[in-house]
Structures are given as structure tokens and as C-alpha cells.
Amino acid sequence: MSQELIPRSFEVACKRGIERRRSHARRVEACLTIGPPRGNLRTIHGKWYWKHLGWLVYYSIHAPSKTMGLVFNHGLPVQQEVKLDRTEPNYGGIRWWFICPKCGRRVSRLYRPSYTHYFFCRHCYDLTYESVQSAGSWADKLFEKAAREINASKRVARLWVRLTHTNGQGIQEVKRPVIDKGRNRRSGVALRMTKLAQMKGLNI
């Protein structure tokens, strides 16, 4: 897959999409986003840094209690504890989930919109997705065309366009605790996008 497959019109659509998202604070893509750890749980600590915002969050995993602690100050000193839950999928392995600290739902992401101070699930913040708000729009049709050209889903095409035509603007980063620094198990288009994002200092 090459960048030349995507005409300049996609770059225009991408930039318009970024501006459009800035006017919709209720989108998950406009929030700080964190995901649960992967693999076997162990007690660790580390930090996440959102380069484009200059925001830092310290995290710690306490394996015996299956909890994750967050410490940050984005205008208000915050210490937050998040419970972790695990399931064992039919295909094998372990999958970890967050228990939303506010509503108790088991979720795969927690979000912190710019106008808030805590990480909760999208239901608690009444968040929606960019793909829902932009469905049927001119930009959405261009992303759909790009998906056909690169033989990928529209979500992947949207990420690819933004990775190849911007400096990372409009990319939703998902920060996770680093449990195992082993090899990346992604392949194909997903692996190429991951490496491109890392070159831009992003986590997707």
C-alpha cells in the first residue's frame, strides 16, 4: 500500500475532518483515551505522555488487587483507582477490561474529555463516534473510497489517511500499560500503520 493511492482530495477531507472534530467535544476521538493491559498481569508503574497536548499521566498496576492507579494534574490534582476484570476468549489467552469507576460497566476504553478531570466510560460522558456523526458526509464518502482502494475497513482507511497526510493531527491515541515489551503481534496494514504512528510519536 502506498501513499500515492490516496489523492490530494483525501488530504483536504482529512484536514476538514480535524477541524470538524474540534467543534464536537462530545466525540471519543477528542478525548484522552486509555486501554487496559494485555497479557498476564503483573505489578508495574509507568507514565503516558500525550505529545500534542503536553499532558502527562502516571499509572501503576497492582496485580494482587487487580487495580490500576492514575495520578495526574491537568488543572486539578487527581488520584484515581480503576478496577480491572478479565475474561478468557474462546480463541485463547486473556483479555483485560476496565470497570468504569462511575457506573460499574465493564468497558474496553476509558475517556477524559478536555472539560473534565476524571477517566470514565463513554456512556457516562455521553460520547459518540466520529464515524456516526459524519456518516453520509462528503469526507465520509472519500474515506469509504479510500477503504476500497487499499482493501481495508473504513476505520483503517481513516487512520491511514491521517497518518500519511498530517503530523498526527486527528489521530485518536490509545494509551495502555506496558506489561510486555515483546514483539508486536499485528501484521499487514495494521502493523505498517502502527510503525508509522510510532515514527510520529503516537500510540494507536
For every residue of the chain, DSSP letters joined together read --GGGS-HHHHHHHHHHHHHHHT-TTBGGGSEEE---BSS---EEEEEEETTTTEEEEEEEETTTTEEEEEEESSSEEEEEEEEEEE--TTSS-EEEEE-TTT--EES-EEE-TT-SS-B-TTTTT-B-HHHHTTTSHHHHHHHHHHHHHTS-HHHHHHHHHHHHSSSTT---EE---S--------HHHHHHHHHHHHTT---
For residue range 136-145, what is the model confidence (pLDDT) as tens digits?
Answer: 566 667 767 7
Global pTM?
0.68
Domain ranges of the chain: 3-26+129-199, 37-112
Considering the chain, what is the average pLDDT of its residues? 77
28 and 17 Cβ atoms separated by less than 8 Å: no
Q: Using H for helix, E for strand and C for coil, what is the string for 44-68?
A: EEEEEEECCCCEEEEEEEECCCCEE
The residues, any chain, with a CB within 8 Å of residue 172's CB and separated by 6 or more, are: 28, 29, 33, 204
Q: Give mean pLDDT, residues 73-80.
A: 92
Say if residue 58's pLDDT is above 70: yes
**CB atoms closer than 10 angstroms to residue 80:** 18
Say if residue 21's pLDDT is above 50: no
Longest dimension (CA), the chain: 52
Q: Check the CA dihedral 165-171-175-179 and report its sign.
A: negative
* Confidence at residue 100, expressed as pLDDT on a 0 to 100 scale: 98
